Amino acid sequence: MDLLEYQAKDLFQKVGIPVLPSQRIDHPKDLKGLKIPYPIVLKSQVYAGGRGKAGGVRFVENTIDAVAAAQAIFYLPILGQYPEVLLAEAKYAPDRELYLAVVLDPSLRRPLLLGSREGGMELEATSRQIQQVLVDGEFSPFYARRLALKMGLTGELIESVSAIAEKMYHLFLTYDLDLVEINPLAVNPAGEVMALDGKVTVNDAALGRHPDLVAMQSGDRDSPSPAPAPAGMAHPAPLDKAPGLPNLTPMLFPGNLGILCNGAGLTMATLDLVDQAGGQPAACLNLGGESSYRLPPDTLCDRLEKGLDWILQTQRLRGVLLNLLGGSATCDAVAAAIAHYLKQQRQPLSLPLVVRLGGAHAEAARRRLAALDLPRLVVMESLDEAIAKAIALSQA
Ligand code: GDP
Ligand code: MN
């Protein structure tokens, strides 16, 4: 799961990586209440890179120009994607631009620190000069320092840049990341460093351990609009209003597997994983995160019952995968709602139902569901296994 730049920068700020004051812009008119002084930079919040070259990064000096630039950026697709929000940020005058990243070395399964003195938009051309340091033992600041030296940095930059690489490494470990990248890490004439851009990819298999990151993504802007379809799938045909599902918008695909999740990030990640595992989604419903302001004040459990009702009646399905993360509604409460729903049914389950619950009290929740001892109900702990099981059952 990728984070957008402004979400990555929220994480940076938490661990003390320097970022500029910024503000999220949901609509051009938000610029009228801007709290950052001009000049500012307006940046398209899409997952694709190369925004600078595509025209998705603009510098403006006043409100009138800012509103016009924001309108242009909202209507500018970058690699086919339109931004839902922009980031307005204080302008910085860099002297030089560096590149820093931490990735997982795919063959050695160890973290790899990467750095270059020639960061910025021309990085591809200079990628020969990216230096590497493999973290092959217990981490110590020595690894980060070695990177700074290999990058050819001198003077105070050795300390300031290695301190940032060290913080990136801690983020990488704490949040089970596949990638954390800063490009550019700007250096101003006073020698101060600043993360001007940020890219963070969370390992999908570890999402269950980080409900806070999933919530950040689906979070308070969790909207009932569908997540984009993973590559290779037919474009989803959203139903404007499915009966019995006010404010929830299902996505329909040509396959045979039904999917229910809570939160946009989790829904998107689950669809991706099902696709990668060779499954064929037929109907997918995001039940919404818990802090969803657009939904009426019903609870996740209410929405879950409606969602189950809808998905179990959807034509063409051969199986249903329920992938839910407990948060403030604990897994046990969610499991109790599923159990309550299943007990109310007059008929046995018409389809195989694979339930995967992650988060607080998941263990007790799984026991509660397993104790129902229903034929066709499968309760699993690991997401990968749950997906494999649901696909196998729907293709049986
Ligand atoms: P990307 O093209 O998608 O990687 O987007 P970036 O966020 O990296 O922005 C592109 C370029 O714009 C960067 O390489 C910087 O040179 C420049 N840039 C971004 N933010 C700022 C800023 O606050 N001040 C200045 N002067 N330049 C910036
Ligand atoms: Mn960049």
CATH for 73 = 3.30.1490.20
- Examine residue 10 and state whether it is found in any structural domain, yes or no: no
The residue assigned the tokens 């998941």 is 362
Q: Would the CB of 28 count as within 6 Å of ligand 1?
A: no
| Cβ of 228 less than 6 Å from ligand 1 | no
- Rounded to the nearest 10 degrees, the angle between the axes of helix 264-276 and helix 383-395 is 60
Q: CATH no. for residue 155?
A: 3.30.470.20
Compute φ and ψ for 322, nearest 5 degrees. -110, 110
Same domain flag for 301 and 376: yes
**pLDDT for the residue numbered 49:** 87
With a 6 Å cutoff on the Cβ, whether 120 touches ligand 1 is yes
Q: Do 187 and 321 belong together in one domain?
A: no
pLDDT of residue 45: 97
Same domain, 56 and 101: no
| Contact status, residue 38 vs residue 67, Cβ threshold 8 Å | no
Which CATH number is 246's domain given?
3.40.50.261
Nearest atom, ligand 1, residue 89 CA:
23
**Domain shared by 361 and 291, yes or no:** yes
Which one of 4, 41, 185, 197 would you pick to mutate in the ligand 1 pocket, going by the greatest count of ligand atoms within 8 A of its CB? Answer: 197
Tell whether 135 and 279 lie within a shared domain: no
Instruction: Check if 52 has its Cβ closer than 6 Å to any atom of ligand 1.
Output: yes
Q: Which of 191, 220, 249 is the last residue of a domain?
A: 220
User: Is the peptide bond between 28 and the residue preceding it cis, with omega within 30 degrees of 0?
Assistant: no
Ligand nearest to the Cα of 97, by number = 1
Q: From the CA of 86, which ligand is nearest?
A: 1
For residue 200, the CA-to-ligand 2 centroid distance in Å is 12
pLDDT at 259: 94
pTM over 0.85: no
Q: Assess if residue 4 is contained within a domain.
A: no
Query: Which among 196, 199, 200 is the best mutation to test ligand 1's pocket, defined by most ligand atoms within 8 Å of the CB?
Result: 196
- Ligand 1: which atom is nearest the Cα of residue 196? 20
* pLDDT of the residue at 344: 85
Length, in residues, of the chain: 396
Q: Is residue 272 part of a domain?
A: yes
Same domain as 391, residue 256: yes
pLDDT at 230: 40
Nearest ligand, measured from the Cα of 4: 1
Tell whether 336 and 265 lie within a shared domain: yes
Number of domains in the chain: 3
Ion ligand 2 neighbours (CB, 5 A) are: 183, 197
| Residue 31 and residue 127 in one domain | no
Q: Is 93 in the pocket of ligand 1 (CB under 6 A)?
A: yes
Question: What pLDDT is recorded for position 231?
Answer: 40
Last residue of a domain, one of 168, 193, 220: 220
Atom of ligand 1 nearest to the CA of 184: 14
Q: Tell me, yes or no, whether 198 lies in a domain.
A: yes
- Tokens 């929405």 belong to which residue? 303
Running along the chain, 396 residues long, what does each successive block of 10 average in pLDDT?
A: 96 96 96 96 94 96 97 93 96 95 88 94 72 94 97 96 97 95 96 97 90 76 39 37 61 85 84 90 80 51 83 86 82 86 86 90 89 91 93 90
**Cis before 296 (ω within 30):** no
Nearest protein CA to atom 9 of ligand 1, as residue? 52
Same domain, 298 and 374: yes
Residues 74 and 195 in one domain: no
CA end-to-end distance (rounded Å), the chain: 30
| Atom number, ligand 1, closest to the C-alpha of residue 49 | 3
- Residue 261 domain-assigned (yes or no): yes
Pocket test for ligand 1, best of 42, 46, 59, 121 (most atoms within 8 A of CB): 121
Does 80 share its domain with 102? no
Q: Which pLDDT value is given to residue 289?
A: 67
Say what the pLDDT of residue 232 is. Answer: 37
Per-residue pLDDT at 293: 36
User: 283 is written with which tokens?
Assistant: 């109907």
pLDDT value, residue 328: 64
In testing the pocket of ligand 1, which one of 57, 61, 192 has its CB within 8 Å of the most ligand atoms? 57
In a domain, 386, yes or no: yes
**Looking at 42, 67, 90, which one is the last position of a domain?**
90
Domain assignment of residue 14, yes or no: no
For residue 92, the ligand 1 atom closest to its alpha carbon is 24
Tell me the angle at which helices 5-14 and 211-218 cross, rounded to the nearest 10 degrees. 140
> Is the CB–ligand 1 distance for residue 198 below 6 Å?
no
Whether 7 is covered by a domain: the verdict is no
Residue with tokens 């990085």: 123
Q: What are phi and psi of 254, to 5 degrees?
A: -80, 5
Q: For ligand 1, atom 12, name the residue with the nearest CA.
A: 52
Do 105 and 85 share a structural domain? no
How many Å lie between the centroid of ligand 2 and the Cα of residue 37?
23
Which protein residue's CA is at the shortest distance from atom 25 of ligand 1? 92
Cβ–Cβ < 8 Å for 293, 321: no
Tell me, in angstroms, the distance from the centre of ligand 2 to residue 158's CA.
22
Domain of 314 in residue numbering reads as 238-395
